[in-house]
Amino acid sequence: MATASDKKYKRTNTNGMQHQPLDVAIVGGGLVGSLLALHLGKKGHEVNLYEYREDIRTAELVIGRSINLALSARGRRALAEVGLEDALLNHGIPMSGRMLHDVNGNRKIVPYDANTNQCIYSVGRKHLNEVLLNAAEKYPNIHLHFNHKLVSANLDEGNLSMVDPVTKDVKNAKADLIVGCDGAYSAVRKEIVKRPRYDFSQTYIEHGYLELCIPPTADGEFAMPHNYLHIWPRGQFMMIALPNQDRTWTVTLFMPFTQFHSITDQDRLLDFFRQYFPDAIELIGRERLIKDFFKTKPQPLVMIKCRPYNVGAKALIIGDAAHAMVPFYGQGMNAGFEDCSVLTELFNQYGTDLTRILPEFSEKRWEDAHAICDLAMYNYIEMRDLVTKRSYLLRKKLDELLFWMMPNTWVPLYNSVSFSHMRYSKCIANRAWQDKILTRVLYGASFVSIVAVGGLCYRHVTMGHLERLSTSILSTLQLFKPSESV
């Protein structure tokens, strides 16, 4: 698949070592696939990007299936490595924390990072994909192919067979390396799963999601403060809203399918919103709420875990194809983008030796991928329920204080996941260490307090006093009991 551009551009690695460029076939032209094309194209490899849909840059936007994206440190670094970070940050809307809405319409701000004021960015999926594809199109060695649906593959030989969904024409291709970036329902992974002794699990949660929209105000402004992720936590379900460039809000309602199915007409819908989200009715608009809610069906949420990610030295899966996760930590895209960074680092280290690059990527990445899948699941419980608990807010304040006192030692879980490049598995281990330290300190402090109180007041304290004191101490210790979910 090499072209005349070989004569025009000297193919070198970033470490200065010259290597024969690879023919790379990337299946999936979404966010991760188009970014990986840029990473590998920048290194001089001949890249063919195959996408089963039409070109998103000319396609009509599909309403109801986007789930807005939150860009954080890991994704930013991967974009910076191909020179696109600034362009996306200029487009994105910074969100410095969560704004919680209670059932009475009261709002409370919970900052992500009260010490250094770091933020995440709300970015539009379509816009980001367009930016990546436009950048990829500028490389003479990156070739974009739309309406190419993978139907079969011989991964050991590097052979692909694709069909045009419109014309039904069959097209074949061969590559030195096949990379599946084709999402949670990956056709490339489907081929890998057929192999013996392959570890794979697929988990659908009982909750689904449905998208709504808050329009701008009459004077064209945001209807709510726009530098926050807005959350309506309601225990077993929740609603969130992220700001868009056009002053609208993408609102996503997450709740059990049984709850969705119980809302069968507009009266039940309005009664439900009056009970749980009364302030949202005016924000969305009564008629628009009814129209948008019944326009589409709630969509499922799935978590995928598998390993290894490679087939010998010929094929690899990354992004959602390797580790699809529920969207509650805002790390799906960021983890996929980090895959691109990790893979590029291995290319820098080993040149084009795929016998070393692909197995090491699998071994290096699977544990972190499983960790962020678990964290994303846990964060749903936090967002829909724990954020309103006194224990959660107390622990967050304590974490902020210790982070301020020891910024290089005590990094809160959210900060380590969203604002650092610490391995996801290390983030969990770090949190477990913090829980252990706090539990020991509190047990020690409680023991000293009991001894002190006993020494001062033993003549005047009754058994009832002691029972109430012990109950209060145990309640305090429960605030810092390590979470089984994490």
Position 483 in a domain = no
Position 266 in a domain = yes
| pLDDT attached to residue 234 | 93
Least confident range from 172-176, 315-319, 467-471: namely 467-471
Q: How does pLDDT run across 53-68, given as a tens digit for each residue?
A: 999 999 876 554 555 7
Q: How does pLDDT run across 318-332, given as a tens digit for each residue?
A: 999 999 999 989 999
Angle formed at CA 38 by CA 33 and CA 42, multiple of 5 degrees: 150
Local structure of residue 353 (DSSP, 8 states): -
Domain shared by 91 and 34, yes or no: yes
Position 213 in a domain = yes
Position 408 in a domain = yes
Domain shared by 158 and 287, yes or no: yes
Q: How does pLDDT run across 68-88, given as a tens digit for each residue?
A: 799 999 999 999 999 999 999
Q: Which long-range contacts (CB under 8 A, 24 or more apart) does 366-371 make?
A: 366/307, 366/308, 366/309, 367/425, 368/423, 368/424, 368/425, 369/305, 369/322, 369/323, 369/335, 369/424, 370/305, 370/323, 370/425, 371/423, 371/424, 371/425, 371/427, 371/428
| pLDDT attached to residue 380 | 82
Residue 381: how many CB atoms within 10 A of its CB?
Answer: 16
> Which of 382, 398, 423 represents a domain boundary (last residue)?
382
Peptide bond into 308 cis (omega under 30): yes
Position 332 in a domain = yes
| pLDDT attached to residue 134 | 98
Domain shared by 104 and 190, yes or no: yes
Mean pLDDT of all residues belonging to the chain:
88
Query: pTM for this one?
Result: 0.87
Domain shared by 301 and 426, yes or no: no
| pLDDT attached to residue 66 | 58
Domain shared by 186 and 219, yes or no: yes
Domain shared by 257 and 396, yes or no: no
Domain shared by 329 and 395, yes or no: no
Domain shared by 151 and 281, yes or no: yes
Q: What is the CATH number of the domain that holds 80?
A: 3.50.50.60
> Which of 398, 413, 434 represents a domain boundary (last residue)?
434
Position 52 in a domain = yes
Position 156 in a domain = yes
Residue 17: is its pLDDT beyond 90? no
| pLDDT attached to residue 384 | 76
Which residues fall within 8 angstroms of residue 171, CB to CB, at 6 or more apart?
148, 161, 162, 163, 164
Residue 2: is its pLDDT beyond 50? no
Tell me which residue range forms the domain holding 415: 389-434
Local structure of residue 22 (DSSP, 8 states): P
Q: How many domains does the chain have?
A: 2
Position 235 in a domain = yes
Domain shared by 269 and 409, yes or no: no
Residue 18: is its pLDDT beyond 60? no
Give 442 or 345, the one with higher predicted confidence. 345
Domain shared by 332 and 413, yes or no: no
Domain shared by 120 and 219, yes or no: yes
Residue 460: how many CB atoms within 10 A of its CB?
Answer: 7
* pLDDT > 90: percent of the chain: 75
Q: How does pLDDT run across 94-135, given as a tens digit for each residue?
A: 999 999 999 999 999 999 998 889 999 999 999 999 999 999
Domain shared by 189 and 330, yes or no: yes
